[in-house]
Chains A and B, each alone.
Chain A
């Protein structure tokens, strides 16, 4: 009886191996796919969710395409599916479309397809990710002039319409209006071969692509939570590209560093004492030894930030200087404030977000130590994305304790309009400040064009740096990608959000 039991177990084990092995092996490929390892699995591959980098890095300009693109070098708008665009009235822009383009399901690419995609992205029941933040609160309608011409109109004048079209990925008109699709169909050089939940996403070249065919025909995206594991995968040959490498793992000559248009900062809640006193906020900035953080907890290539926008964005002011490290001055300011009755000893909770960037938790601990060294009483509280989001966004009724929030903002879209209002306008849903003069500047700038627009935004940021000090500005961040020796790939400032598969060549 025992022997039978043992034998049975042995047989079970064998079959488990066999079945398990079969179960977990991915699909077979004609050619060996290029493996790219990223940090997280996309939660959606629907074209209207490309607001999230996990989704856009796989889809944007690979599976789906946009009407225009933002040039990574100077932030200008360049042609993609649209060949020309012009503003025909304060509220309307006209786009002329490329001819001879088809979707991967055979449907021809026409103005009505664009109209449908734009309408779908704004459908309330779908709750697309790009709706609120990037398309703005300005509802857009479109008018199909002819097969290759479309006019897009906003309710209010909006010079940034071309920028908004740079983030609208156009999916096939056959895409469902009532639910998210897990099989996106676009006009891009790759079509989705399979999405094995929890394992990988595979793309394969689309023969009917209207532009230059890519050299790499099969691509497989996998994800691992650990930077060291991602880096090791390139070393062992398991992957050709590994994104999101932490500074301490970037020890190989294969690592490429790039400025990634992210700015990290700590938002100060100016509604509650002692952070309602500008001296205290200035003291917080002076207490941070940014140079000590560079090359240690942060990569040696990060740059000290002076404002929210990275230098390539319209509205970045070159006139603002980074904060010096001056703990004595910080202590003096705190003493002054204390003498006036400001409760500088009150406990301030510093909300941190786990995994915000490599070493983000450690950086918070270091910053806490620096703040405490000048006399602040800071408690760090780390939290997951979802909880952190609740602290990031209004309403702030639950915030009864003075608080700071660790955050990061990316604006690869070229224009300040996308970030300044939500973050700094008094009704912005992430704003902890309320300044009417600033509000007026923000509103005015949104209606202007060209140099005037640029200058007004710059003035707004200069005003904030001098008179408001809403943040502890930290760094303009870099991304690090490890590239296998036989692969030719150069990341640009948009690489966090868009992995340009077309540009990858094999040596």
Chain B
């Protein structure tokens, strides 16, 4: 895997990002002018016109986009009308919260999935496999907002063990993380199990066993290496979803993350924050995709990356 490959991927990604931003730019302006929202109810027309000009909303849309682009390259993503400070600050005060949560969730669900999936694949259709199947099915099917509410009802309101919402020390993480782990766990267990079954049936595994390698080594070293490939792709996909912020969970738990911020920006017609937020999320996802591709290639040198 060469440097030129990475460079090419980065270039492609930037092109994709640009295209995305054009679409977002146009769409966002279709929601209606923010001028009416930020001026008092009976502001005279002259004042509205003045504000429109000040915000640059009177210019043709491609001029607006060009100006925005020029600023964006210098990392100036505009001013948040709603909060009165740079949009990039607003986004950066929320994005890390989501990313932290996402990282923890992904890590926990990946580790658990590898463990459960591998053990399940070891004896397909055995007791543990059936149990794993049930768990993953339930996990993938539960509506996360409903689970969040039931969790709050049980652990916070009825038992009082955990706080109801907000963010802070580790107790505030327990419910959101538990709720958010369910779906990725369910999906990943199935994927790992499936690919591990195929991997464990491969000839080289039989060879390893014939050579007398301990079972643990067979599973976790030989089979897992190949069994993990589809899981990595799926995990990359899940990471992308998590980077966008699991909005409903953030809303229910009052977690100050990017999903909740996007909703609030939409409700407040804050173009700058909305654009900045989408740009940052897209940038994170693009980075993740490149990392996944690299990880894929590193694990299995047989993979042909050049397409």
Residues of A in contact with B (beta carbons under 8 Å apart): 1-2, 5-6, 9-10, 12-13, 16-17, 19-21, 23-26, 43-44, 51, 124-125, 127-133, 137, 179-180, 182, 197-199, 222-226, 228-229, 232-233, 235-236, 238, 384-386, 389-390, 393, 422, 429-430
Contact = CB atoms under 8 A, between A and B. Distances in A.
Nearest to A428: B42
B84 A222 contact: no
Contacts of B165: 224, 226, 229, 233
B36 A390 contact: yes
B21 to A, nearest CB: 24
A180 B295 CA distance: 48
B222 to A, nearest CB: 10
B221 A386 contact: no
Given A26-B168, A197-B90, A198-B94, A180 B84 contact: yes
A197 B84 CA distance: 11
A23 B163 contact: no
Interface of B: 32, 36-43, 47, 50-51, 82-85, 90, 93-94, 96-97, 100-101, 103-104, 107-108, 110-111, 114, 152, 156-157, 160, 163-170, 172-173, 220-221, 224-225, 228, 251-252, 254, 256, 261, 267-269, 295, 298-299
A386 B82 contact: no
Contact of A386 (B37, B100, B164): B37
Given A225-B251, A389-B36, A44 B164 contact: no
Nearest to B261: A198
B46 to A, nearest CB: 9
Given A6-B111, A235-B157, A238-B163, A132 B103 contact: no
Contacts of A385: 267
Contacts of B114: 6
A131 B42 CA distance: 9
Given A43-B83, A132-B40, A429-B41, A20 B100 contact: yes
A124 B46 CA distance: 10
Given A12-B103, A43-B83, A236 B93 contact: no
A131 B44 CA distance: 12
Main secondary structure of the interface of B (DSSP, over half): helix
Nearest to B100: A20
Given A24-B97, A132-B41, A235-B157, A386 B268 contact: yes
B169 A236 contact: no
A182 B84 contact: yes
A225 B263 CA distance: 13
A23 B41 contact: no
A228 B152 CA distance: 10
A268 B32 CA distance: 25
Given A9-B110, A12-B103, A133-B42, 12 more contacts: A1-B298, A9-B111, A13-B107, A21-B169, A127-B47, A197-B83, A198-B93, A198-B261, A225-B251, A229-B165, A389-B37, A393-B42
- Enumerate the 4 nearest inter-chain pairs by beta-carbon distance, A residue then B residue, closest first: A132-B40, A198-B256, A20-B100, A13-B107
A24 B173 CA distance: 11
A23 B40 contact: no
Given A16-B104, A224-B254, A236-B164, A179 B84 contact: yes
A20 B83 CA distance: 24
